[in-house]
Amino acid sequence: MSERTAKPAGGLATIESIDHEGIGVSHVDGKVVFIEGGITGERVAYTRLRGRSSYDRAP
């Protein structure tokens, strides 16, 4: 039996705006990424916490 080991996805992103909950919004490779703790214009490194087909969330 083999186990799958997924490497955490992530990278660098620039926070483009802030959503109504105060979370940074960015676009990476055509996908929306919500990044907590970022401010507009800031370039941040992130690790994907949860992914969906149209967006990712990062802590």
Span 24-56, pLDDT tens digits = 999 998 999 999 998 999 999 999 888 888 888
CATH homologous superfamily for the domain 11-58: Nucleic acid-binding proteins (2.40.50.140)
**Mean pLDDT value across residues 4-28:** 86
Q: What is the pTM of this model?
A: 0.79
Q: What is the DSSP string of 1-59?
A: -----PPPPEEEEE--EE-TTS-EEEEETTEEEEETT--TT-EEEEE-SEE-SSEEEE-
Strands 10-14 and 55-58: unpaired
Query: Token pair of 44, please?
Result: 């941040």
**Mean pLDDT value across residues 2-18:** 77
